[in-house]
Amino acid sequence: MNKKALITGASRGIGSAAAKSLAREGYDLFLVCRNSQKKMEELKRELEEKYGISCYTALCDVSDPAQVETMMKQAGEIHVLVNNAAVSYVGLLTDMTVEQWHQVIDTNLNALFYTCRMAAPQMVRRREGKIINVSSVWGNAGASMEVAYSASKGGVNAFTKALAKELAPSGIQVNGVAFGVIDTDMNRCFSREEMDALREEIPADRLGTAEEAGEMICQLVKAPSYLTGQIITMDGGWI
């Protein structure tokens, strides 16, 4: 029987790429997104036909603990949890509403609590499991005009390190990846000039691809069990 990986934010970008990388490794998949059912169904058919794995899909707003609880029960036994779903807000902190702040924190940080508290008991029972949390270089360095996003990803980093220590005695690895600028839809809000300015700061002289990000997540899933509590930075040499 194949092991199963659950991926949030799986309909596009890094989540979709991670699904392809893990399917290639023979994992059955449980793919989750908030509202892009059609895209997930297309991805499901592609992966099942190409790799012969089983793929399940579910709509879930991971910022809602009740929806997450229902979704996790539907997923059943999972061996790998990839917390990838995220939203951003670009603008002055003083222009941000309380509702917008909560949306970012609830989706990017609180959702990890909702998923991990339900996934951890079964992993502890099996004494086996991998949790991969998708973070950002802005969680390390902070970004002007993205205070909430930076705060949420800084929280992801601390959450990852702390949970890794808590679960290590049970044989479970918890790691994160702090990605730099990856060419995904999340960055479509920036103008060509803004993207060119970002690119000029990157020693690799290009943006990362979703495929590279997905492969990095897959590599962490395959990493030796002694690797835990780490935030791996993948940013083209920016930091």
Over the stretch 152-163, which tens digit does the pLDDT of each residue have? 999 999 999 999
Q: Judge whether 94 lies within some domain.
A: yes
Q: Report phi then psi at 102, rounded to 5.
A: -65, -35
Query: For residue 164, what pLDDT band results from cuts at 50, 70 and 90?
Result: very high
Q: Judge whether 82 lies within some domain.
A: yes
Four-residue CA torsion sign, 186, 190, 191, 193: negative
Q: Which of 27, 51, 89, 149 is catalytic?
A: 149
Q: Judge whether 183 lies within some domain.
A: yes
What CATH number is attached to the domain comprising 40? Answer: 3.40.50.720
Look at residue 34 and tell me whether its pLDDT is greater than 90.
yes
Q: Judge whether 205 lies within some domain.
A: yes
Query: For residue 172, what pLDDT band results from cuts at 50, 70 and 90?
Result: very high
The pLDDT score that the predictor gives to residue 197 is: 81
The pLDDT score that the predictor gives to residue 191 is: 73
Helix pair 65-75, 111-126: axis angle to 10 deg: 30
Look at residue 196 and tell me whether its pLDDT is greater than 90.
no
Query: Residue-wise over 147-166: b if at least 16 C-beta within 10 A, else e?
Result: bbbbbbbbbbbebbbebbee
Count the Cβ atoms, other than its own, within 10 Å of residue 76: 11
Q: Judge whether 239 lies within some domain.
A: no
Look at residue 186 and tell me whether its pLDDT is greater than 80.
no
Cβ neighbours of residue 38 under 8 Å, at least 6 residues apart?
A: none
The pLDDT score that the predictor gives to residue 193 is: 79
Instruction: Return d(Cα 72, Cα 125) in angstroms, integer.
Output: 16
Query: For residue 40, what pLDDT band results from cuts at 50, 70 and 90?
Result: very high
Residues spanned by the domain of 41: 4-234
Give the mean pLDDT of 137-150.
Answer: 95
Question: Into how many domains does the chain fold?
Answer: 1
State yes or no: is 149 an active-site residue: yes
Q: Judge whether 144 lies within some domain.
A: yes
The pLDDT score that the predictor gives to residue 189 is: 65
The pLDDT score that the predictor gives to residue 1 is: 79
* Lookup: tokens for 15: 């989540």
Query: For residue 199, what pLDDT band results from cuts at 50, 70 and 90?
Result: confident
Query: Which of 35-44, 45-54, 182-191, 222-231 has the lowest average pLDDT?
Result: 182-191
Give the model confidence (pLDDT) of 95-142 as tens digits.
999 999 999 999 999 999 999 999 999 999 999 999 999 999 999 999
Count the Cβ atoms, other than its own, within 10 Å of residue 49: 9
Mean pLDDT for all residues in the chain: 95
Q: Judge whether 27 lies within some domain.
A: yes
Count the Cβ atoms, other than its own, within 10 Å of residue 115: 28
Q: What percent of the chain has pLDDT over 70?
A: 98
Query: Quick check: 57 and 44 in contact, CB under 8 A?
Result: yes
The pLDDT score that the predictor gives to residue 201 is: 87
Query: Quick check: 32 and 60 in contact, CB under 8 A?
Result: yes
